[in-house]
């Protein structure tokens, strides 16, 4: 591939951290400032349906907060194809809109960069908004859609955070995970249990 100067960076903080499914040249773990990740967006396609919408991640503005995830570098040669794919998955099917944010790589020697991010705002028709950890966990426990169960979505995100950002305290994510594991006390829903099947 000839040396390409124009790349587009895409920041993922939900399913995109563990399942980008688009072409990229490299990825960096890091964070964006001014947003907190909340399971306040409804999903009636990928992880839920019209009767029982799932709960998936979105970003809520909070100048004190930051959200950890993955930035993917998409080379110019793959930009159109990747954006078309994400437009269907995130915008048309997921109800997200795009923003540009500053991404700060975890690697201290790497400089911050601008990235595209998909955010679902409260005026979105399937936006569900705040709920207690127990209520969110209960909704996740009974929702599944075209792409899979809502439990898998939550557990894979928690797995990513433990693996790649072990020093990060994500109280919202881990308290929902804890509430979910209480619903299934024998650990039958953990990813390791599912892998053993
Ligand atoms: N935009 C967030 C969330 C993305 C997300 O979870 N989008 C849903 C659409 S509602 C999705 O792509 N789900 C695919 C899946 O659940 O495997 C991100 O950057 O990761």
pLDDT digits (tens, 9 = 90+) for 22-31: 999 999 999 9
Whether residue 2 is contained in a domain is answered as no
Structurally, the chain folds into a number of domains equal to 1
pLDDT above 60 for 128: yes
Would you state the pLDDT for residue 167? Answer: 96
Report ipTM (2 d.p.).
Answer: 0.89
User: What are phi and psi for residue 121, nearest 5 degrees?
Assistant: -95, 170
**Pairing between β-strand 54-75 and β-strand 97-105 as defined by DSSP bridges:** unpaired
Instruction: Using pLDDT thresholds of 50, 70 and 90, give the confidence band for residue 196.
Output: low
pLDDT above 80 for 35: yes
Would you state the pLDDT for residue 145? Answer: 97
Largest CA distance in the chain: 54
- Which helix (H) or strand (E) element contains residue 161? helix 150-164
Would you state the pLDDT for residue 188? Answer: 83
For every residue of 19-48, DSSP letters joined together read ---S--SEEEEEEEEEEEEEEEEEESSSS-
Whether residue 169 is contained in a domain is answered as yes
The domain that holds 76 is classified in CATH as 3.10.490.10
Would you state the pLDDT for residue 2? Answer: 55
- Ligand 1 centroid to Cα of residue 139, in Å, is 17
Would you state the pLDDT for residue 186? Answer: 85
- Which helix (H) or strand (E) element contains residue 9? strand 7-12
Whether residue 135 is contained in a domain is answered as yes
Mean pLDDT computed over every residue of the chain: 94
Overall average pLDDT of the 103-124 stretch? 95
User: What are phi and psi for residue 194, nearest 5 degrees?
Assistant: -70, -35
Overall average pLDDT of the 121-146 stretch? 95
Would you state the pLDDT for residue 191? Answer: 81
State percent of the chain over pLDDT 90: 85
Question: Where do the DSSP E strands lie in 112-187?
Answer: 113-119
Whether residue 1 is contained in a domain is answered as no
pLDDT above 90 for 1: no
Tens of pLDDT, residues 48-100: 999 999 999 999 999 999 999 999 999 999 999 999 999 999 998 888 999 99
Would you state the pLDDT for residue 94? Answer: 84
Q: Kindly give, in sequence order, each residue whose CB lies less than 8 Å from that of residue 33, ignoring residues fewer than 6 positions away.
A: 63, 65, 66, 102, 104
Whether residue 20 is contained in a domain is answered as yes
- Shortest-distance Cα residue to atom 1 of ligand 1: 118
Choose which residue among 90, 118, 119 to substitute to test ligand 1 binding: the one with the highest number of ligand atoms within 8 A of its C-beta.
90
Q: Of 90, 99, 102, 169, which one is the catalytic site residue? A: 90
Whether residue 188 is contained in a domain is answered as yes
Q: Kindly give, in sequence order, each residue whose CB lies less than 8 Å from that of residue 108, ignoring residues fewer than 6 positions away.
A: none
Whether residue 145 is contained in a domain is answered as yes
Q: Is 68 exposed, middle or buried (0-12, 13-18, 19+ CB in 10 A)?
A: buried
- Which helix (H) or strand (E) element contains residue 192? helix 191-196
Whether residue 22 is contained in a domain is answered as yes
Residue-range definition of the domain harbouring residue 84: 7-196
Q: How many Cβ atoms are within 10 Å of 16's Cβ, its own excluded?
A: 23
Nearest atom in ligand 1 to the alpha carbon of residue 153 is 16
Instruction: Using pLDDT thresholds of 50, 70 and 90, give the confidence band for residue 148.
Output: very high
Question: CA 41 to CA 38: how far, in whole Å?
Answer: 8
Choose which residue among 11, 12, 13, 16 to substitute to test ligand 1 binding: the one with the highest number of ligand atoms within 8 A of its C-beta.
16
Q: Kindly give, in sequence order, each residue whose CB lies less than 8 Å from that of residue 40, ignoring residues fewer than 6 positions away.
A: 55, 58, 60, 127, 128, 129, 130, 131
99 is catalytic: no
């Amino acid at each position: 591939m000839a040396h390409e100067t124009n790349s587009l960076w895409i920041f993922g903080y939900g399913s995109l951290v563990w399942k980008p499914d688009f072409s990229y040249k490299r990825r960096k773990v890091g964070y964006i400032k001014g947003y907190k990740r909340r399971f306040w967006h409804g999903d009636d396609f990928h992880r839920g349906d019209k009767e029982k919408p799932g709960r998936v991640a979105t970003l809520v503005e909070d100048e004190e907060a930051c959200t950890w995830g993955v930035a993917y570098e998409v080379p110019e040669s793959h930009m159109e194809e990747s954006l078309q794919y994400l437009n269907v998955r995130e915008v048309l099917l997921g109800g997200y809109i795009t923003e540009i944010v500053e991404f700060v790589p975890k690697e201290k020697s790497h400089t911050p960069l601008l990235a595209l991010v998909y955010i679902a705002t409260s005026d979105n028709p399937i936006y569900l908004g705040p709920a207690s950890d127990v209520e969110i966990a209960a909704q996740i426990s009974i929702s599944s859609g075209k792409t899979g169960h809502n439990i898998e979505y939550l557990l894979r995100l928690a797995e990513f955070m433990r693996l790649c950002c072990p020093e990060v305290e994500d109280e919202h994510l881990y308290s929902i995970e804890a509430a979910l594991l209480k619903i299934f006390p024998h650990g039958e829903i953990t990813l390791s249990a599912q892998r053993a099947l």
